[in-house]
Amino acid sequence: MQIVTVASKAYSDQRPGTSGLRKSVVTFQQEHYLENFVQSLFDVLDGYVGKTLILGGDGRFFNLTAIQVIIRMAVAAGFGRIVVGHDGLLSTPAASHLIRKNKAFGGIILSASHNPGGPDGDLGIKFNTANGGPAQEALTEAIFQHSLKIAHYHFADIPEVPLDCIDQHSFGHTIIDVVDPVADYAQLMQELFDFSAIKSLIDNGFQVCFDAMHAITGPYAKKILGEQLGINQENLLNCEPKADFGGGHPDPNLTYAHELAERMLSDTAPDFGAASDGDGDRNMILGRQCFVNPSDSLAVIAANATLIPAYKNGLSGVARSMPTSAAIDVVAKQLGIDCYETPTGWKFFGNLLDANKITLCGEESFGTGSNHVREKDGIWAVLCWLNIVAVKKQSVSEILLAHWQRFGKHVYTRHDYQGVETTSAKNLVEHLLNNLINLSDKQFDNYTIKTADEFSYTDPIDGSISEHQGIRLLFKNGARIIFRLSGTGTSGATLRVYIEDYCTDSNQYNENTQSYLKPLIHIADKIAGIKMHTGMKIPTVIT
């Protein structure tokens, strides 16, 4: 087996974002582009020779090509074992589980999550460390700095590894195991949840509909929800993974999961609906004619966690990303446990989970998870809700109403302005930052600002500091407006505006969210000049 060294040229745009390096497929197809990034990763890592690497992705276009490149480079780098999913498939939470179960050195996950796929779509690559979670900022920054000066990369001159059958292959000192991407994860879910209670619920006529959006969770849904829990296969929608996600946008929200949303909000809706995204880490939960806000979903799961076998002894603590609503804060206070506020990005939960400071965590961007892996987990969230419904014997809407009556309701929305010209987006943020000092104690209609700041985070475990994590306007009555530029897009900028108000009047719990928040939406535009800076009269997506 020959190790080949290829002279290369550096690229200047390979700084990973909150979830790895995401670019268009066309960008990744540039000569040396993918190889440079992978070699930069291997060059800054240490101690992996002879160790295990987990590898897989969400099945989007170019994944199979990229996986073969990574296998050849990982063999050249000296990994002792490479575990890759059958057909290159592996959901992000399943990859995290395999890293932990195999005590692997780490894993490479190929996904751009909820971004569109296909030849004109996006691709992503990220490295997860030995705890199963995304690499911390210090490592991703080191990768980027190395990528600016890289001059060559190495690969093993080996034939293409067949990924279409479960088998084992050997090249030099490296063993390559092609494995069932679902089996180990499905076993883990059986250990966490009361499958007999959920199956009994299904057998007694509880109707469940799940939409995999032609993405990675299709095989997981067929195995777990279909074969093991008995959900009718006709109610498992779009469960064949496709390289372009069937031409759709694999983002589980009311805009893009419209087939499921229309079914669940109709007069003949099933009892329960759910969807997951491109790589399987996000989720959307719906009841009959009822949408569960992701922030509420996290709070409800926390409030009812002891009904789930894995959490029957209670929670050590909880955490949420800064833009996520404070609904979980109220639950934590009543439960007498700590609640941590972190920047956006699942990697910030890792240290808290490893130190057993928290058991559950979540983000408003349709992501919830627990200490079972170190990623958010879509199928896990669906099973949480089904387990809670099975025990409480209440509908989704009844569970939500009971929760609000106990804890109050955090009326919450996120407005995304996608594809904003980058300079315009930066000007908007600069305008806000320059005016923060003038906003404290300023009154807008019936709302008075208590604090206006730019959020920064000091990790309570390792002391690392993360700055410039979003602009917060905190009002004296508990309302909040958050402005943040997202790091998950691949063209232009995405401005995200998070708007929240706290309501304890049960007579208003069923009021339309956008109507209820209209005064704060107007205040957000007035302060930030959203229409003026972006040229957009309405958001691209409202969730």
Measured in residues, the chain has a length of 543
Q: Per-residue DSSP letters for 67-131?
A: HHHHHHHHHHHT-SEEEEEEEEE--HHHHHHHHHHTT-SEEEEE--TTS--STTSEEEEEEE-TT
**Alpha-carbon separation of residue 21 from 278, 312, 486 (angstroms):** 16, 38, 13
Rounded (10°) angle between helices 396-407 and 327-335 = 70
Contact criterion met (CB below 8 Å) for 316 and 302: no
| 136 shares a domain with 34 | yes
Question: In whole angstroms, what is the distance from residue 101 CA to residue 346 CA?
Answer: 20
Among 407, 440, 455, give the residue marking a domain's end.
Answer: 407
| 252 shares a domain with 111 | no
Element (H, E) at 454: strand 447-454
| 457 shares a domain with 392 | no
| 528 shares a domain with 390 | no
Give pLDDT, residue 541.
Answer: 85
| 310 shares a domain with 200 | yes
Total of domains in the chain: 3
Quick count: other Cβ atoms within 10 Å of Cβ 84? Answer: 27
Average pLDDT, the chain: 95
Question: In whole angstroms, what is the distance from residue 285 CA to residue 513 CA?
Answer: 17
Rounded (10°) angle between helices 422-435 and 518-528 = 100
| 304 shares a domain with 266 | yes
Question: In whole angstroms, what is the distance from residue 270 CA to residue 206 CA?
Answer: 8
pLDDT in tens, 19-71: 899 999 999 999 999 999 999 999 999 999 999 999 999 999 999 999 999 99
Structure tokens at 378: 């879509």
- DSSP code of 307? G
Structure tokens at 466: 């993360």
Contact criterion met (CB below 8 Å) for 459 and 348: yes
Residue-level pLDDT, tens digit, the chain, 543 residues: 899 999 999 999 999 987 899 999 999 999 999 999 999 999 999 999 999 999 999 999 999 999 999 999 999 999 999 999 999 999 999 999 999 999 999 999 999 998 999 999 999 999 999 999 999 989 999 999 999 999 999 999 999 999 999 999 999 999 999 999 999 999 999 999 999 999 999 999 999 999 999 999 999 999 999 999 999 999 999 999 999 999 999 999 888 999 999 999 999 999 999 999 999 999 999 999 999 999 999 999 999 999 999 999 999 999 999 999 999 999 999 999 999 999 998 989 999 999 999 999 999 989 999 999 999 999 999 999 999 999 999 999 999 999 999 999 999 999 999 989 999 999 999 999 999 999 999 999 899 999 999 999 999 999 999 999 999 999 999 999 999 998 555 567 899 999 999 999 999 998 999 999 999 999 999 999 999 999 999 998 888
Domain that holds residue 219: 185-407
CATH of the domain at 167: 3.40.120.10
Q: Per-residue DSSP letters for 503-537?
A: E--GGGTTS-HHHHTHHHHHHHHHHH-HHHHH--S
Quick count: other Cβ atoms within 10 Å of Cβ 172? Answer: 12
| 532 shares a domain with 516 | yes
CATH of the domain at 488: 3.30.310.50
| 168 shares a domain with 219 | no
Structure tokens at 377: 């987990």
| 326 shares a domain with 194 | yes
- DSSP code of 17? B
Q: 113, 295, 297, 325: which one is catalytic?
A: 113
Give pLDDT, residue 489.
Answer: 53
- The rounded radius of gyration (Å) of the Cα atoms in the chain is 23
Question: In whole angstroms, what is the distance from residue 499 CA to residue 495 CA?
Answer: 13
Give pLDDT, residue 17.
Answer: 85
Residue 197 sits at φ, ψ, to 5 deg, of -65, -40
Give pLDDT, residue 2.
Answer: 96
Contact criterion met (CB below 8 Å) for 403 and 394: no
- DSSP code of 305? G
Question: In whole angstroms, what is the distance from residue 89 CA to residue 291 CA?
Answer: 30
| 372 shares a domain with 430 | no
Among 372, 390, 407, give the residue marking a domain's end.
Answer: 407
Contact criterion met (CB below 8 Å) for 488 and 16: no
Quick count: other Cβ atoms within 10 Å of Cβ 18? Answer: 20
| 104 shares a domain with 65 | yes
> Is residue 113 flagged as an active site residue?
yes
Among 152, 181, 210, give the residue marking a domain's end.
Answer: 181
Structure tokens at 354: 């490893």
Give pLDDT, residue 235.
Answer: 96
| 455 shares a domain with 324 | no
